[in-house]
């Protein structure tokens, strides 16, 4: 699943010489958390977050006189003084999966999207990626998730999918992960129906083990003393 369909193309940009107060006003008015900094050719130069702006802004704990002084001092600084230069970026043809791994690794909530020439194409955030997965997995539609243990060998997933389709049940998606026991995998079919009793009975008759999804999740959590 490529990133190009998940990015937000209409982004708010400023130049590096814009005042910090302008960035703050834009973020408040448009209710956004990031502003991208570009040059005259729309080449990415940096990024600022609402946290950057808050850190530079006067604190509510200061007296009115102290805040006025800090506001006056702040007006002398520009966006380039607080922006993150050369931020981590992604390419439109990167995958959603790789971008999620980057977010998890860097703890950054959004990435500018640039092409091979560093020309800005948009921005992608965690919420954009979540919406993509909801659409692709079909979980935006009413249905039911079941959890099935299968053998870790060729053909086993096909048997499961065939059993589902033989019951005239539409399949929204299937996720598959490794089982704690070697030689097995755990499949999570998302069924576009709430009527799963007959299918579950059939799967058990096939010798497949059904697990409650929440029980599987709890069992995978790190053990604590």
Backbone angles phi, psi at 149, to 5 degrees: -90, 130
Beta bridge partners of 38: 44
**Domain boundaries defined on the chain:** 3-134, 140-220
Which of helix, strand or coil describes residue 189?
A: strand
DSSP 66-114: HHHHHHHHHTT-BGGGTSEES---B-TTSBHHHHHHHHHHH--SEEEEE
**Per-residue confidence (pLDDT) for residue 133, from 0 to 100:** 75
**Per-residue confidence (pLDDT) for residue 101, from 0 to 100:** 87
**Per-residue confidence (pLDDT) for residue 61, from 0 to 100:** 45
Residues recorded for the chain: 225
> CB neighbours (10 Å) of residue 219?
10
**Which CATH number does the domain 140-220 belong to among 2.60.40.10, 3.40.50.300, 3.30.70.260, 3.40.50.12280?**
3.30.70.260
DSSP class of residue 8 equals: B
Strands 144-145 and 209-211: what pairing? unpaired
**Per-residue confidence (pLDDT) for residue 214, from 0 to 100:** 75
Architecture of domain 3-134: Roll (3.10)
Q: DSSP alpha helices (H): ranges in the chain?
A: 20-30, 50-56, 64-74, 96-106, 126-137, 156-166, 197-205, 213-220
Cα→Cα distances 177→169, 184, 206, Å = 22, 9, 20
**Per-residue confidence (pLDDT) for residue 221, from 0 to 100:** 55
**Per-residue confidence (pLDDT) for residue 65, from 0 to 100:** 59
**Per-residue confidence (pLDDT) for residue 71, from 0 to 100:** 62
Beta bridge partners of 171: 191
Q: Could you list the mean pLDDT of each consecutive 10-residue stretch along the chain, which spans 225 residues?
A: 86 93 91 94 95 72 57 75 92 89 87 96 90 74 88 93 94 85 90 93 94 74 52
DSSP class of residue 208 equals: P
Element of type H or E holding 178: strand 171-178
> CB neighbours (10 Å) of residue 56?
18
Which of helix, strand or coil describes residue 220?
A: helix
User: How many angstroms separate the most distant Cα atoms in the chain?
Assistant: 77
Backbone angles phi, psi at 101, to 5 degrees: -65, -35
Evaluate whether 119 touches 107 at the Cβ level (below 8 Å): no
């Amino acid at each position: 699943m490529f990133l190009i369909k998940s990015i937000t193309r209409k982004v708010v940009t400023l130049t590096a010489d814009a005042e910090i107060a302008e960035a703050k006003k834009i973020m408040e008015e448009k209710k956004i958390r990031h502003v991208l900094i570009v040059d005259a050719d729309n080449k990415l130069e940096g990024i600022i977050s609402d946290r950057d702006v808050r850190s530079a802004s006067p604190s509510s704990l200061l007296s009115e006189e102290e805040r006025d002084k800090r506001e006056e001092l702040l007006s002398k600084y520009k966006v380039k003084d607080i922006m993150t230069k050369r931020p981590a970026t992604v390419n439109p043809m990167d995958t959603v999966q790789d971008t999620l791994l980057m977010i998890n690794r860097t703890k950054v909530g959004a990435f500018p999207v640039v092409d091979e020439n560093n020309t800005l194409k948009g921005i992608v955030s965690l919420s954009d990626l979540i919406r993509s997965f909801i659409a692709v997995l079909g979980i935006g539609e009413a249905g039911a998730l079941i959890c099935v243990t299968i053998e870790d060998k060729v053909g086993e997933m096909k048997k499961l999918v065939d059993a589902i389709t033989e019951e005239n049940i539409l399949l929204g998606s299937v996720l598959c992960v490794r089982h704690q026991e070697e030689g097995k995998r755990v499949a999570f079919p998302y069924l576009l129906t709430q009527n799963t009793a007959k299918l579950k009975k059939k799967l058990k008759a096939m010798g497949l083990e059904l697990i409650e999804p929440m029980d599987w999740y709890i069992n995978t959590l790190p053990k604590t003393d």
